[in-house]
């Protein structure tokens, strides 16, 4: 029965979209591209594209990320999040989108041209208020991605994905504070993150002049889970 209807209906297209997040200028930003063609011509959209032949979903996500940003996607933290298939979510026809979240440090974007379309960082905080800045239902995809990132920070080590290869504990704390929109006690945060085995590996270096005592530099260690979690709510 399902097979019959599959043969008699126009089959849905499968797309892969990416919510690429970074922390810059003290706020969470998302990577968007300006659409060159209808529908939603000229509007911002999450980067993405249709699944190609012989390609797994994860491969498609990596390919799209490389095409849109010119970055080596293999080194980024990228994870499948959710699929969206509401009828009418794409005016061209039936499209099921598999959404991926990617977290990356604040790197310069390649200029538009070649494979890469014009890509921009826009602050996520601008979005909740503004009415439908993004094409399709990408507003919803982004909201889900941000919420997932927020929750994931507390019990995993992915916050380091927002940081450059070497960073201070203060920069790591900035990530938590900016993504969560809260303030964390510097002393307790320091004690917490340095107490998790294999989370932060000291490199021996010291940070340069930032108007305070130089901080020790760390790189991300092999740990992926935080036990116990770093709590976001003070209400326990």
Please tell me whether residue 26 adopts helix, strand or coil conformation.
Answer: coil
211 binds, among DNA, a second copy, none (CB under 5 to 8 A by kind): DNA
215 counts as binding DNA under rule CB under 7 A: yes
114 counts as binding a second copy under rule CB under 8 A: no
| CA angle, 153 then 154 then 157, to 5° | 55
149 counts as binding a second copy under rule CB under 8 A: no
Please tell me whether residue 73 adopts helix, strand or coil conformation.
Answer: helix
Kindly indicate which of the ranges 83-91, 159-167, 168-176, 182-190 contains the residues binding a second copy, using the contact rule CB under 8 A.
83-91
83 counts as binding a second copy under rule CB under 8 A: yes
84 binds, among DNA, a second copy, none (CB under 5 to 8 A by kind): a second copy
Binding-site residue total for DNA (CB under 7 A)?
Answer: 28
| CA angle, 92 then 97 then 100, to 5° | 145
The H or E element spanning position 30 is strand 27-34
Beta-carbon contacts of residue 190 (< 8 Å; ≥ 6 apart): 169
The CA–CA distances, whole Å, from 183 to 178, 189, 227 equal 9, 10, 21
Q: 186, 185, 188, 198: which is closest to 225 by C-alpha?
A: 198
207 binds, among a second copy, DNA, none (CB under 5 to 8 A by kind): DNA
Range 30-59, binding a second copy (CB under 8 A)? 49-57
* Least distance in angstroms from the C-beta of 57 to a second copy: 4
Cα–Cα dist 132/43, whole Å: 10
Binding site for DNA (CB under 7 A): 168-170, 185-188, 190-192, 194-195, 206-216, 228, 230-231, 234, 236
Binding site for a second copy (CB under 8 A): 1-3, 5-6, 9-15, 49-57, 60, 80, 82-87, 94, 96, 98, 115, 227-229, 233, 235-236
């Amino acid at each position: 029965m399902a097979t019959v209807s599959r043969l008699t209906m126009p089959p849905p297209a499968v797309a892969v979209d990416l919510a690429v997040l970074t922390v810059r200028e003290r706020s969470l930003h998302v990577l968007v591209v300006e659409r060159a063609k209808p529908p939603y011509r000229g509007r911002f959209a999450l980067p993405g594209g249709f699944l190609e032949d012989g390609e797994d979903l994860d491969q498609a996500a990596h390919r799209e990320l490389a095409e849109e940003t010119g970055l080596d996607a293999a080194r980024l933290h990228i994870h499948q999040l959710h699929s969206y298939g509401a009828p009418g979510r794409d005016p061209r026809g039936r499209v099921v989108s598999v959404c991926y979240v990617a977290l990356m440090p604040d790197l310069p974007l390649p200029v538009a041209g070649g494979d890469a379309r014009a890509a921009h960082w826009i602050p996520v905080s601008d979005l909740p208020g503004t009415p439908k800045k993004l094409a399709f239902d990408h507003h919803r995809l982004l909201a889900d991605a941000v919420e997932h990132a927020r929750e994931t920070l507390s019990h995993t080590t992915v916050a380091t994905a927002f940081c450059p290869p070497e960073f201070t504990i203060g920069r790591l704390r900035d990530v938590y504070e900016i993504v969560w929109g809260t303030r964390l006690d510097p002393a307790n945060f320091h004690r917490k993150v340095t107490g998790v085995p294999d989370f932060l590996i000291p490199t021996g270096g010291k940070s340069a002049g930032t108007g305070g005592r130089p901080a020790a530099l760390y790189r991300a260690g092999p740990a992926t889970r935080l036990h116990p979690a770093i709590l976001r709510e003070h209400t326990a």
